[in-house]
């Protein structure tokens, strides 16, 4: 698993945790007919995954998660979709390579498309 | 002047397919692969993991032979609803235990607001809730019928 995939998975876990921990979201899912499972299993899974990730990137991710509610952002046409900052050409990873970068504007980890 | 209703044949936000396998994991794999072939998904294996994890939290079978699952994720590039139909019925973890005939996968990109994903999920669950709606889809098994059924879906 690459670092990018690790953080994508972590983000998805955080979304599920937010669903499980929020009454409004849970209520909405229940009205659709779903049962939302227990959060402790998710917390354990998150801890297990976070343990495998680079501490430096994890700190940056968690800082953005705490500040904006989301630690990742996509980049399209060199624009960070989180803060709309146009990123320098030099910030782009080589074609075909998935690398982690930090947005200079908002500090989120960037996913280059 | 004659007025004809034109079916949205060019609608690329919907897809309909026949599910070949009986197992839940295989069905999800087939749905994700179709989305990947349409270049809607970035990391298909990761998306499958996410969907299976969602199933472990609580089955997405809504009873009465249908499932609506979905993901609001950065693994998704553009909104897509893939609907799979099964002739034999799928082994899913459903309370009714009557075999799943319709599986809907609602994909919403992570860059779009979460509210939009919930509205899409509500539109799909609402459209498939009624038996006669599901039966119409099972009888016709075509994209125009699906488009008509999901006409309220936010795109």
- Number of domains making up chain B: 1
Task: Say what the pLDDT of residue B96 is.
Answer: 62
Put the strands of the sheet holding B80-90 in their side by side order. B14-18, B80-90, B100-109, B66-73
Determine the average pLDDT of the residues in B109-132: 91
C-alpha dihedral, A45 to A48 to A53 to A59, nearest 10°: 80
In a domain, residue B32? The reply is yes
In a domain, residue B1? The reply is no
Residue A21 sits at the vertex; the CA angle it makes with A5 and B115, to the nearest 5 degrees, is 70
Nearest CA to CA, how far is B20 from chain A (Å)?
26
Alpha helices by DSSP H, chain B: 24-37, 44-57, 114-129, 131-140, 143-149
pLDDT, one tens digit per residue, over B52-90 is 988 887 778 777 789 999 999 989 999 999 999 998 888
The token pair at A78 is 């060199």
CB contact under 8 A, A36 and B60: no
Q: Which residues of chain A carry a pLDDT beneath 50?
A: none
Smallest CA-to-CA distance from A102 within A39, A56, A43, A33 is with A56
Which residue of chain A is at minimal alpha-carbon distance from B121?
A32
In a domain, residue B6? The reply is no
In a domain, residue B90? The reply is yes
Q: Containing domain of residue B86, as a range? A: 14-149
CA atoms in the 13 A half-sphere facing the CB of B78? 12
In a domain, residue B7? The reply is no
Q: What is the CATH number of the domain that holds B25?
A: 3.40.930.10
Q: How large is the ipTM?
A: 0.84
Token match 């979460």: residue?
B114
In a domain, residue B4? The reply is no
Binned at pLDDT 50, 70 and 90, residue B2 comes out as low
Contacts of B121 in chain A (CB under 8 A): 32
Comparing CB atoms, the residue among A16, A70, A74 nearest residue B57 is A16
């Amino acid at each position: 698993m690459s670092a990018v995939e690790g953080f994508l998975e972590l983000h998805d876990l955080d979304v599920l945790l937010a669903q499980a921990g929020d009454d409004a979201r849970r209520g909405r899912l229940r009205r659709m007919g779903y049962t939302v499972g227990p959060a402790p299993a998710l917390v354990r899974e998150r801890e297990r995954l976070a343990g495998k990730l680079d501490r430096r990137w994890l700190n940056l991710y968690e800082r953005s998660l705490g500040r904006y509610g989301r630690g990742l952002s996509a980049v399209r046409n060199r624009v960070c979709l989180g803060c709309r900052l146009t990123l320098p050409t030099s910030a782009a990873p080589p074609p075909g390579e998935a690398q982690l970068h930090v947005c200079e504007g908002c500090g989120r980890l960037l996913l280059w498309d | 002047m004659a007025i004809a209703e034109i079916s949205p044949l060019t609608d690329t936000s919907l897809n309909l397919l026949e599910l070949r396998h009986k197992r839940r994991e295989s069905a999800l794999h087939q749905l994700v692969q179709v989305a990947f072939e349409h270049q809607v998904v970035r990391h298909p294996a990761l998306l499958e993991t996410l969907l299976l994890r969602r199933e472990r939290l609580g089955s997405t079978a809504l009873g009465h032979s249908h499932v609506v699952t979905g993901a609001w994720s950065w693994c998704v590039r553009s909104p897509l609803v893939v609907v799979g139909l099964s002739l034999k019925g799928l082994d899913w973890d459903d309370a009714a235990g009557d075999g799943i005939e319709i599986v809907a996968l609602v994909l919403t990109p992570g860059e779009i607001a979460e509210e939009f994903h919930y509205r899409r999920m509500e539109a799909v669950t609402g459209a498939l809730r009624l038996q006669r709606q599901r039966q119409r889809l099972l009888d016709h098994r075509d994209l125009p019928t699906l488009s008509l059924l999901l006409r309220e879906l936010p795109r």
